[in-house]
Structures are given as structure tokens and as C-alpha cells.
Amino acid sequence: MEAEKKKPLVSDVGAWAMNVVSSVGLIMANKQLMSNGGYGFAFATTLTGFHFTVTALVGWISNATGLSVSKHVPLWELLWFSIVANMSITGMNLSLMLNSVGFYQISKLSIIPVVCLMEFFLHSKHYSSRVIMAVIAVALGVGICTVTDVEVKVKGLICACVAVFCTSLQQITIGSLQKKYEIGSFELLSKTAPIQAISLLLFGPFADYYLNGHSLLKYHYSVGATAFILLSCILAFFCNTSQYLCIGRFSATSFQVLGHMKTVCVLILGWLLFDSALTLKNILGMLLAVLGMLVYSWAVEHDKKVKMALDIRTGSNSEREDAKLLAKENGTSKPDIELARSES
């Protein structure tokens, strides 16, 4: 029994670890691939299309060899989800291009409260004061260590709003589709990846040309650049898989809150590997963010235990009520017995 109880915990930790390691590794690989000091592959949207192509290929091989089972999901839902996911990717890229880095970071942080509001209105999910305070602490901590200059433009604000809304909706929909059709995270990803890959490869080069003015056809694919593109695709596969896995097991809010551990890791690795500046403000912000994540984890577990105890209490009360009703129907309740004695 103890082994069975420990098994889900280990797999949950493994899912989070896979997401953090693959996400941080993906950011580091993309930084080398896309930076001017690296290989100058400034085609973020098209690169995402490459990512989903590899993911779709792995999913097709898995289904063909019988390693995974394909379940039915209506095509219109897959198309709708893919449109929202692609708008999230394109919106984030446009937001980064049109806005300052500081405002871009603020827009990413705003995903957390937007997800909370969406889960409240769509799924009637309520949050305790402990969870709310922990979410505020995480957002504040990450904001302190990442937000610098803040410059807002009208077009950039519109793109940021679209990106935040679509990203929040996408992450909530992942969990909803898995529960609605009882489909695994990898199986769902295998169904959505081909649609996203085709659409991003068709429209990605045009979006990238609008973003940076460079043509994908004129890029020189060196051996090093090709190797990093392949590495980026492999890491993206694990990142996408673990994202679906984490959201399916937990919630979009938990994924956003605990996912900011990746931001802390990126800042530390940037300081270690790329000589990025790490000030006292950054350190204090990271400590506050980590503290908020720990409090959030504790608060969520505490609320689960309280809800479980309440469900058990409610279940036992309903069993007593059922027993009383059954006793009355059988004519064995105490008032009936006493009445029978008085009549005799």
C-alpha cells in the first residue's frame, strides 16, 4: 500500500522536473541559436513549427508501433485549440517585438491572475486566502527580479492582451480536454501537434519576416546551426509533453505558479554561463518567488486535506441519513417501536 501511495508522488515530481529541465535547456539552446553572438536564427515562429513537426512525428511513430493508443477527439475541438495555441505563440512573439522587455515580463506575469479568473468563471473554482497570498508573492518576486524598463505601445498592448488571454485559455483547455475525453497528455499532444505544425510552417515564415525583416530562404544553415535546431526540437518535445502532463495532473494555475521556477533557473544559469548581471534586487526577488512557491505548494496540499476531510464527513453523514430512512421504511425506527409498545 505504501508503494502505491508513493508512486504518484514520484511521477508528479518527475513530471515537474522534466518540464523545468527541458524548458530551461530549451531557453539556453534557443539563446545560442537565435542570438547575434550565436547562429542568428531569428525565426522564432518557424522554429516553433519545427518543434511541433518533431513532436507530431514522434506521436505518429508511437501510434504506429502501438506504444500509445489514439482516442477520438472531435476535429473542430482540435482545430479550435490549435488556433488558440498558435495565437498565443504569435502574440507572445509580437509582444516581445513591439514592447519593452519589462512590459513583456509583466504581461507574462499577468497570466497567473487571468488563469485564476478563467478557472473561477469557467469551472467555478475557488481559492483560499493562503493560495491567493502565495500567488501574489510569486508574481511580486518574479516581477522584482525580471522587470526593468516599462514602455507601452498601443499595438504592443493589444498583442500582449491577445497573448495573455490565448495562453491562459490554452492551458485551461488542455486540462479540460483530457478530462472530457479521458485522453492522456501525450495522446492529446499527438493529435494537436500536426495541426499546429502545418499552420506554423505555412504562416510562420511570413510572421517572422514581419517581425525581423529577414527571409528564411536566405538563411545559411551551418552544421552548428542545424545541430542546435535539432537540439531545440528534441528539448521542445520533452517540454511540450511535460507541459501537457503537468496541466493534466494538476491545474493551469499550479503550472503557472510553480513554472516560474524556470525563470529563477534561467537567471542563475545566465549569471553562471553568460556572465549576466545578478544584483541584490534579483536575488531578493528570486528568494521571494521561491518562498511564494513553497507556500503555494503547502497551501494547495492543505486545502486538499481539508476538502478530503469534509468529503469524508459529508459521506458519513449521508450514510447515517440513508440508514435512518431505511429504518423508517422497514418500520424499525425508535419512535415507531415506542408507539407500538404504548398501544399494546
Of 89, 25, 14, 71, nearest to 185 by C-alpha is 71
pLDDT value at residue 234: 94
The residue with cell 491545474 is 251
Q: How far apart are CA 224 and CA 289, in angstroms?
A: 36
Residue 132 has pLDDT above 90, yes or no: no
Write the DSSP symbol of residue 99. Answer: S
Cα dist. 58→23, 52, 55, 205, 256 in Å? 19, 10, 5, 23, 26
Mean pLDDT of 309-320: 65
More confident residue, 113 or 193: 193
CA dihedral 336, 337, 338, 342 (to 10 degrees): 100
Residue spans per domain, the chain = 10-302
How buried is 97 (Cβ within 10 angstroms: 0-12 exposed, 13-18 middle, 19+ buried)?
middle
CB–CB of 105/139 below 8 Å?
no
The residue with cell 502501438 is 66
CB–CB of 144/105 below 8 Å?
no
Kindly state the cell numbers that stand for 171: 492551458
Q: How far apart are CA 122 and CA 89, in angstroms?
A: 23
Residue 344's pLDDT band, with cuts at 50, 70 and 90, is: very low
Mean pLDDT of 26-34: 84
| Tens digit of each residue's pLDDT (9 = 90 or more) over 71-103 | 888 989 999 999 999 888 888 877 777 776 667
Of 323, 314, 312, 77, nearest to 195 by C-alpha is 77
pLDDT value at residue 230: 95
HSE at residue 233, side-chain half, CA atoms within 13 A, is 20
Q: How far apart are CA 95 and CA 128, in angstroms?
A: 32
Residue 318 has pLDDT above 70, yes or no: no
> ∠ CA(18), CA(272), CA(151), 5° rounding?
85
Least confident of 136-150, 175-189, 241-255: 136-150
pLDDT value at residue 176: 86
pLDDT value at residue 53: 94
Mean pLDDT of 272-292: 73
pLDDT value at residue 259: 66
CB–CB of 292/127 below 8 Å?
no
Q: How far apart are CA 264 and CA 286, in angstroms?
A: 6
CB–CB of 190/129 below 8 Å?
no
Q: How far apart are CA 191 and CA 194, in angstroms?
A: 7
Q: How far apart are CA 134 and CA 107, in angstroms?
A: 19
The span from the first CA to the last CA of the chain, in angstroms, equals 55
| Tens digit of each residue's pLDDT (9 = 90 or more) over 215-238 | 888 888 899 999 999 999 999 999
More confident residue, 325 or 240: 240
Residue 12 has pLDDT above 50, yes or no: yes
Measured in residues, the chain has a length of 344
